[in-house]
Amino acid sequence: MARLILDGSLRQLAGGDSVVEVDVQNVKQLLRTLSERYPALAPHLEQDSFAIAIDGEIFQDVWFAPIAPDSEIHLIPAIRGG
């Protein structure tokens, strides 16, 4: 299964889990799985609020980016300023 690494506030919203194993084939499935498993995380999974790194490559706005069973995934929150 692919491994999702959660840092900072995302980890807190996932009940303190820092590594989550997921059986998904693309980003859309990943986000759906996370929303179901961690309802508190769901509102923070809008695609414009983060980028996704899959095996070291950063993607933005890529709904169907493939995820291999041995992939390592990071959610990278957007940096907002004023």
The answer to whether position 55 is within a domain reads: yes
Band of the pLDDT at 49, cuts 50, 70, 90? confident
**How would you label 2-24 residue by residue, b for 16+ Cβ within 10 Å and e otherwise?**
bebebeeebbebbeebeebebeb
The answer to whether position 82 is within a domain reads: no
Q: How many domains does the chain have?
A: 1
Task: Tell me the per-residue pLDDT of 1-47, one tens digit each, with 9 for 90 and over.
Answer: 999 999 888 899 999 999 999 999 999 999 999 999 999 999 888 76
pLDDT at 80 over 70: no
**Quick one: three-class SS letters along 20-62?**
EEECCCEHHHHHHHHHHHCCCCHHHCCHHHEEEEECCEEECCC
Q: Cβ(54)–Cβ(16) under 8 Å?
A: no
**CATH number of the domain to which 10 belongs:** 3.10.20.30
Q: Any idea how long the chain is? A: 82
pTM: 0.85
The answer to whether position 15 is within a domain reads: yes
| Residue 25 structural domain | 2-77
